[in-house]
Chain A
Amino acid sequence: MANLIVIAEQRDGELRETSLESIAALKAIKQADDQLAVAIVAADPQAHAGALSVDGVDEVIAIKATDDFQPDLIEAVIVELAKERKPSVIAVAHGVDAWSFAPAAAVKLDCGLATDVLGLKIEDGELVATRAGYAEKVLVDVDFPGKETVLLTIRTNVFEPAEGSGSPKVTEMDPPEADVATTHEGWKPPADAGGIDIGGAEFILSIGRGVGDESNVEQYLELAESMGATLGCSRPIADNGWLPKARQVGQSGQLAANCKLYIAMGVSGSVQHQWGMKHVDTIVAVNTDPEASIFSIARYGIVGDMFEIAEELENHF
């Protein structure tokens, strides 16, 4: 029997769906006699027990502390649970929160660590985690020889959130002593984006420098609307003031977190832009330059004029 532990995430007292995705990730490798526990640190952890009582969860560990995000506290919780329960796997959601505590906890525990994991399997009784490598160009299988415990940060929007009701036991745990070195200043809501939601959009039509001029931008807004897509753009377009910054995809912009189909027209594919979209399953690139970087990550590529392609698309929608 092995112990599997998920560290759930809450923000400002609201449980994050990433917690259910991490549960789903560990459910995928859970064997018949394994125990899956979910730990939640919050001001009122019991309030989240119901939402975490999904199919496959055997125990909810309620740790009453604070709703403020304190990475040192979460790190201490992971270390304490690892020492007490000797889990084979601990999973947390991959994101800015985990970056601040997961590597530190792994060092303290001298355990295995794989970040941004997008697949898990058991091979010959050993855990194998899959993550992307070389700028998402290859998939890398990572194993952890000799490690009793492995800490994983799970890529979001990959595993379907766990569902179905379960009836786990709920236990309480005192928050461990933590050398808290950070101060929580409060949560800052994202700026009002005027109804533009690049992060939530499943279909994005994006334009880049190839659009040439502000007067040409409007036709792509019209095209995106007729296709049922959200219009995105690369940095130069937003820098010029031709589209709102809320539409900018990339490192200096938004992450197309939920996108399933991304059509990039006249986008060269700078590193900054790829940061926001290279994870998307289906990328279609349109560019006159056959050597544009965007083609290296596109599933489908069209070497051609973005205006001609747009005109053809307009005729079909």
Chain B
Amino acid sequence: MNENTAEKHDMGSATALSALIDRLVATGDPYAALGAYARTQDAALVDVALPTRRQRLIVAAAPYAPADLLDRLARDADAPLTLRLAKNPATPASALARLLEGDPPARVRRYIAAHANAGELLPQLARDTSIEVRRAVTGNAAATSEVIAGLATEKDEQIARHAAAAPQADESILSHLWNSGDVWVRADVAAHPNCPTEILAEAEAAEDPLIRRKCAANPALPDAMLLRLLGDADEQVRGAAVRNSAITGDRLDDADDPSAKVRRLFARRSRLPRALIARLAADPDDWVRRWIARNPDVPAALLGELAQDPDAAVRRSVSRNAACPPHLLSALATDPEPWVRAGVALREDAPDAAIAVLLDDADHDVLGALGRNPCTPPDRLEAIASHPDKDVRRAVAFNRAAPPDALAVLAEDVYPLNRAILAGRDDLAAQLAERLLEDPEPQVRFAAAANLARAAATST
């Protein structure tokens, strides 16, 4: 693209955007204006999006509201607006700071202290007079080790537990909590990745199985300790050790646990040795076979055997296994159990022959899966978009390969949610977005306006 062409495109884009904004201002639809504002941040839309106190309250509580609009609302927020903004996860740090400057009540300060965007405010809130606020600070994952250290010395069980589980808690904090906390605090310390080695050694040998179990779950546990805990007398401790990602599957070679619950956990692990996989595939426990049938490390020949398992849930697992070869998918496409066939219908790598077999299926789960599958022929997608069941029809709205005719059918769908999902598609044709901008449902107009604004802003 040369410079002149780019300039023309920019002008065209600006014109389209300007026309859309003019239109939304003229119609005065607050939901459409809100949708477009999220993409354009055009000041002309603010008064349309926030025309009344009721609408300002709605936006202040909406997690989909643009951050700078929430920041604007925080500038002159009264008590109800302040509370809603403090609770809204989308409220940015600048707005939270503004709210805090207004000296809000403890309830609001507690919400700010727990807010994911409150990181820079936490040192100040850690000195708050309210214990509830300080508890919320220790429970905030953004709290630094300095903030945690300052609070961990308080004699409060909740603060101690929060501190023991805080991601930034360092060795000295954890040592203090191990020595001063109750069994629950000590258990959380034993599970913490920053837990000092000497404490882990104590935890590994602890009499209380809760502490050993939490220790076995520690992702930073040294191999030797983990291997010892794999042989623990307590089933729950062994289970926690098997779940622990610190040990790779190939280290679990000799496992032949008497507990079916533990063997199920083995079957969920990746990189298991072949012999162990074979043993688990022949396990008498249905759930062990269900789990191993989903395991992508299972060789094709063994998957073939599992595909003939008398338990339909095992066959469903095979149909969802990423390593399932095409010939097995074709075989499972004719399975008597609809949920197994639906598993194949969802596969984008299913052979054409398998999809062809499923096209005449009447089961709603199979049709819904075909509706989502980009490999389903366009004419069939159009038919699914007209299905009597609204849940089946909706599947096509999620399909990235849905043909324009099928999408046009969905634009007229009587079920509002189906139109709302359609309106949120990135590739929605401008003509359909324009139509949905007049929709009676606010969430549809919101999504359609956002769609049009994005297209206008990025048109090239």
Contact = CB atoms under 8 A, between A and B. Distances in A.
Contacts of A194: 337-339
Of the candidates A238, A239, A241, A311, the one having the most CB atoms from chain B within 10 angstroms of its own CB is A241
Contacts of B320: 214
Contact of A291 (B89, B239, B243, B338): B89
B89 A218 contact: no
Given A244-B342, A289-B89, A291-B89, A238 B391 contact: yes
Contacts of B415: 252
Contacts of A222: 264, 287, 290
A149 interface: no
B236 A315 contact: yes
A245 to B, nearest CB: 5
Interface string A246-265: 00100011000000000000
B364 A245 contact: yes
Interface string A110-141: 00000000000000000000000000000000
Interface in B11-42: none
Contacts of A219: 268
A241 to B, nearest CB: 5
Nearest to A270: B417
A222 B267 CA distance: 13
B114 A290 contact: yes
Contacts of B455: none
Interface string A223-250: 0000000000001001111001100100
Contacts of B294: 215, 218
A241 B290 contact: no
B interface SS class: helix
B390 interface: yes
B59 interface: no
A191 interface: yes
A241 B365 contact: yes
B448 interface: no
Given A194-B339, A222-B287, A245-B368, A239 B394 contact: yes
Max chain B C-beta neighbours (<10 A), residue from A214, A218, A272, A290: A218
Nearest to A290: B114
Contacts of A253: 391
A310 to B, nearest CB: 12
A244 B398 contact: no
Contacts of B268: 219
Given A191-B364, A222-B287, 10 more contacts: A194-B337, A194-B338, A221-B313, A241-B342, A241-B345, A241-B346, A245-B368, A252-B394, A314-B261, A315-B213
13 contacts: A194-B337, A215-B294, A218-B317, A219-B268, A222-B264, A238-B391, A241-B345, A241-B372, A248-B391, A253-B391, A289-B89, A291-B88, A311-B243
Q: Top 10 closest A-B pairs, CB basis?
A: A241-B346, A241-B369, A315-B236, A291-B87, A244-B365, A245-B391, A245-B364, A222-B287, A244-B339, A252-B391
